[in-house]
Amino acid sequence: MTKKELKIVFFGTPEFAVASLDKLVMGGYNVAAVVTMPDKPAGRGQQILQSDIKKYAVAHNLPVLQPEKLKAEDFVDELRRINADLFIVIAFRMLPEVVWQMPKYGTFNLHASLLPKYRGAAPLNWAVINGDKETGVTTFFLKHEIDTGDIIQQKRITIEDSDNAGTVHDKLMTLGADMVIETVDAIIAGTVTTIPQDQLCKGATPTPAPKIFKETCHIDWNNPAEKIHNLVRGLSPYPAAWSTFEKDGKEHQLKIFETAITGMQANGAKPGAVKTDKNNIYVACSDNYLQILSLQQSGKKRMDSSAFLRGSSLADALLK
């Protein structure tokens, strides 16, 4: 079978999946249809937004399916009529068994971690939040339990001290797109070998990577500076770590995008206590001061600390 003959249905939603779909389309692979989330209203004007994958598919004249329910009879019947040989899933919802078992060559997923580490919705964020020095991408065949299928391929990258969730996202997106092509080529050639994840666990419990909620992003200044620094990195630029402070009897929220470890001891200062000079903001943590380099007050634009201090005073504030 050639890449023109292997009929593929691609499942995905965000920008992360677009790079892989583009590699398939530009490489001349037979993408018979694309499945993505339904359009939804968002923002103050409730404008209807299309997923990044839908925008790409429409621009390249690919048939688009947008089921509300993945078990719906009409959707399942439509997939059957396509009669695809392979399904590829990237950053999409959990597929029901009736769907992922359908194609002749199975369904594989591209996951942004080195499985079995970081099973779940936010693998690259948690790798940075936890201070890991490396991460990667994995392709694996789907089975009933989420992110547990047999591994096809893995590739690794180093997480640099200067990296945040955004830069790691972009590196893994590119690396993953290349590996999707390699995985499809191996399926076409009949050379795929897989490794059960249990063999890699070696008795250890797989690391979870749960969905990021607003409370996940709240900074606890009672933690050490390095732990807070990694939290900020792992949530930047989106959804962003946050804290609050009180001014003129009102509580204000601050999103914090970039910090630096100073090594300056807090010397008993209350965690969250702020000290500033003309250009710099320092916040006491349980051990040292953490320097805030980039932040955004609610209702205002993101700016560096010196620009922020020209328009707002944090002197003697306590971040909570």
Angstrom distance (rounded) from CA 175 to CA 178: 5
- For residue 313, say whether it is annotated as part of any ligand binding site: no
Residues 6+ apart with CB under 8 A from 240: 217, 255, 256, 257, 296
- For residue 21, say whether it is annotated as part of any ligand binding site: no
Angstrom distance (rounded) from CA 207 to CA 144: 18
Distances (CA, A) of 219 to 197, 216, 223: 34, 8, 9
- For residue 116, say whether it is annotated as part of any ligand binding site: yes
Q: For 144, which DSSP code?
A: S
Phi first, then psi: give them for residue 283, nearest 5 degrees: -125, 135
Residue in this structure with the two tokens 């369904």, named with its chain if needed: 107
Angstrom distance (rounded) from CA 171 to CA 87: 24
- For residue 298, say whether it is annotated as part of any ligand binding site: no
Burial of residue 73, with CB atoms counted within 10 A of its CB: 0-12 exposed, 13-18 middle, 19 or more buried? exposed
Judged by DSSP in three states, 301 sits in coil
Burial of residue 86, with CB atoms counted within 10 A of its CB: 0-12 exposed, 13-18 middle, 19 or more buried? buried
**Cβ atoms of 27 and 51 closer than 8 Å:** no
**Cβ atoms of 20 and 110 closer than 8 Å:** yes
End-to-end CA distance of the chain: give it in Å, rounded.
Answer: 60
Residues making up the binding site: 113-116
Output the known binding site for (6S)-5,6,7,8-tetrahydrofolate. 113-116
